[in-house]
């Protein structure tokens, strides 16, 4: 296998970045659409159906006859997809209003900050161990070169992820301050307090995989958590996964923890004064953050690119028959499927659990989640000490 020169490796890295951006920009609009539809079906309505190809042709006929049979038509699962395009057009073309008394520079930089902090986390995420694909020989300039499954599989990947995620708080706080208005300021302060508090149990719950796997590298951690643990390794993972998921909901400001955007108290929270594509950046950043949290959860707890969650893969693998051997090997498809399932869980929870009160949010973090996460870390250390 040829080794790439410096320029070639930079070009390959740029291609990887492009692939990640494409992945994000395919998953995010579909999540937005799924949120409308799934939430609709959870509340016994149809979700967005207005913008569609019309009641003509075969699909229109099927639709009408299924209504006549007294069933919700299958077609209506997909109706409303063109509405996504309309949404994007609206965000781009809408007038960009800046309040007269706002701090122009900070008002401008805040959405960019939260967007960049959300995307850059993917640098340390490895989608599949080893080589993702190899360029064919005829490809100009890059023929025969391998493309690895992660952009930068650095030694301290977990710290990079946590550090950049903590920088994401600035976007929200600065947006709240720069708008020079009451509700955004209150929303920004609330969300900063909430995110800083929930970072503590989040980091502690991620320490259990670090202790169990003995590494800070994303790919290595995923591999060891999926295949290299004894039976007792399951116990700290399941509790840790639930704690992590709860903190992840709070970190991304989603229901039941969406204090910064509590409509009945704060209008729209920190982005009340934003419009046009600046608002679009916050919107995108929220959904990209959801994808990031889902990617980390599936990498550290659900077995990453392996099929089975919670380290079961390593227990099952020795008993696999030969014709099922692909079942024990990592695929990027498994990883993406787990991310999509967790994104569905976000919507599911949003449709199920009502919003907490603000003081309840704080007491959940400090009084319950942190002691539980510490106990889980203790269990993980015991497993590491006696069983691994």
Partner 1 sequence: MEHFIQMIGRNMFAIFGAMALGGAAFMVASRTAVHSVLGFLFAMLCIAGCFLSLEAEFLGMAQILVYAGGIVVLFLFVVMLVEMSKKKEKEVFQLQSRYAIVAVLLGAAAFLGVFRKVLFGAASPEALVLRPELAQGLNVASQNAQAVSRGLFADYLLPFEILSVILLVALVGAVVLAKTERV
Residues 283 and 276: their CA atoms lie apart, in Å, by: 11
Q: Is position 120 an interface residue for partner 1 (rule: CB under 8 A)?
A: no
Residues 384 and 237: their CA atoms lie apart, in Å, by: 12
CA nearest neighbour of 388 among 211, 225, 229: 229
By CB under 8 A, how many residues form the interface with partner 1?
30
| Cβ proximity of 124 and 154 under 8 Å | yes
| Two structure tokens written together for 168 | 């994401």
H-type alpha helices, the chain: 6-42, 57-68, 82-93, 104-120, 157-178, 182-213, 218-227, 234-251, 263-266, 276-300, 312-316, 332-352, 358-363, 370-386
Whether cis (ω within 30° of 0) applies to the bond prior to 256 is: yes
Give the one residue of 12, 102, 123, 169 binding partner 1; rule: CB under 8 A.
Answer: 169
| Cβ proximity of 241 and 297 under 8 Å | yes
Give the one residue of 61, 105, 139, 231 binding partner 1; rule: CB under 8 A.
Answer: 105
Cβ distance to partner 1 smaller for residue 106 or 337: 106
Give the one residue of 14, 18, 97, 196 binding partner 1; rule: CB under 8 A.
Answer: 196
Hunting for tokens 């038509």 — which residue is that? 73
Give the one residue of 106, 268, 316, 349 binding partner 1; rule: CB under 8 A.
Answer: 106
CB of 274 to partner 1, least distance (A): 17
Give the binding range for partner 1 (CB under 8 A) out of 41-49, 170-178, 265-273, 334-342. Answer: 170-178
Q: Is position 3 an interface residue for partner 1 (rule: CB under 8 A)?
A: no
Give the binding range for partner 1 (CB under 8 A) out of 56-64, 125-133, 173-181, 369-377. Answer: 173-181
Give the one residue of 170, 183, 358, 375 binding partner 1; rule: CB under 8 A.
Answer: 170
Q: Is position 320 an interface residue for partner 1 (rule: CB under 8 A)?
A: no
Q: How buried is 44 (Cβ within 10 angstroms: 0-12 exposed, 13-18 middle, 19+ buried)?
A: exposed
Q: Is position 211 an interface residue for partner 1 (rule: CB under 8 A)?
A: no
Give the binding range for partner 1 (CB under 8 A) out of 3-11, 125-133, 233-241, 368-376. Answer: 3-11
DSSP helix/strand/coil, 387: coil
| Cβ proximity of 125 and 291 under 8 Å | no
Cβ distance to partner 1 smaller for residue 20 or 167: 167
Q: Which residues contact 314 (CB under 8 A, 6 or more apart)?
A: 226, 227, 228, 229
Cβ distance to partner 1 smaller for residue 153 or 265: 153
Q: Is position 30 an interface residue for partner 1 (rule: CB under 8 A)?
A: no
Across 356-381, b (16+ Cβ under 10 Å) vs e yields: beeeebbebbeeebbebbeebbebbe
Q: Is position 115 an interface residue for partner 1 (rule: CB under 8 A)?
A: no
Task: Sketch the per residue contact string, 138 through 167, with partner 1: x for CB under 8 A, - otherwise.
Answer: ----------------xxx--xx-xxx-xx
Give the one residue of 24, 75, 186, 192 binding partner 1; rule: CB under 8 A.
Answer: 192
Cβ distance to partner 1 smaller for residue 10 or 62: 10
Q: Is position 181 an interface residue for partner 1 (rule: CB under 8 A)?
A: no
Q: Enumerate binding residues for partner 1 (CB under 8 A).
A: 5-7, 10, 103, 105-106, 109, 154-156, 159-160, 162-164, 166-167, 169-170, 173-174, 177-178, 185, 189, 192, 196, 199, 216
């Amino acid at each position: 296998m040829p080794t790439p020169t410096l320029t070639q490796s930079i070009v390959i890295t740029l291609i990887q970045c492009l692939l990640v951006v494409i992945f994000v920009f395919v998953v995010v609009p579909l999540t937005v659409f799924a949120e409308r539809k799934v939430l609709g079906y959870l509340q016994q309505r149809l979700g967005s159906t207005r913008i569609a190809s019309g009641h003509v042709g075969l699909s229109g006929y099927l639709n009408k006859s299924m209504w006549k049979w007294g069933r919700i038509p299958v077609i209506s699962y997909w109706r409303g997809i063109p509405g996504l395009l309309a949404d994007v057009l609206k965000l781009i073309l809408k007038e960009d209003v800046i309040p007269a008394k706002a701090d122009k520079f900070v008002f401008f930089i805040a959405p960019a900050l939260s967007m960049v902090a959300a995307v850059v986390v993917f640098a340390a995420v490895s989608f599949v161990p080893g080589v993702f694909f190899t360029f064919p020989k005829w490809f100009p300039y890059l023929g025969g070169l391998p493309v690895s499954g992660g952009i930068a599989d650095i030694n301290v990947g977990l710290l990079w992820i946590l550090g950049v995620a903590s920088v994401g708080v600035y976007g929200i706080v600065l947006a709240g301050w720069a708008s020079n208005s009451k509700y955004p300021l209150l929303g920004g302060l609330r969300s900063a307090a909430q995110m800083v508090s929930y970072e503590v149990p989040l980091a502690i719950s991620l320490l259990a995989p670090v202790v169990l796997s003995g590494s800070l590298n994303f790919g290595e951690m995923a591999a060891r958590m999926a295949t290299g643990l004894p039976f007792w390794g399951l116990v700290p993972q399941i509790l840790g996964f639930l704690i992590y998921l709860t903190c992840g909901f709070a970190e991304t400001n989603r229901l039941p923890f969406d204090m910064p955007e509590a409509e009945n108290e704060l209008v729209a929270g920190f982005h009340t004064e934003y419009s046009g594509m600046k608002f679009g950046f916050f919107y995108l950043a929220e959904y990209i953050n959801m994808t990031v949290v889902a990617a980390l959860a599936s990498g550290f707890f659900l077995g990453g690119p392996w099929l089975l969650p919670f380290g079961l893969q390593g227990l099952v693998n020795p008993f696999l028959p030969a014709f099922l051997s692909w079942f024990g090997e990592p695929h990027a498809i498994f990883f993406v499927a787990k991310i999509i399932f967790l994104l569905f869980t976000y919507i599911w929870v949003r449709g199920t659990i009502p919003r907490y009160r603000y003081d309840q949010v704080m007491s959940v973090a400090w009084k319950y989640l942190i002691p539980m996460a510490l106990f889980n870390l203790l269990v993980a250390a015991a497993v590491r000490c006696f069983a691994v």
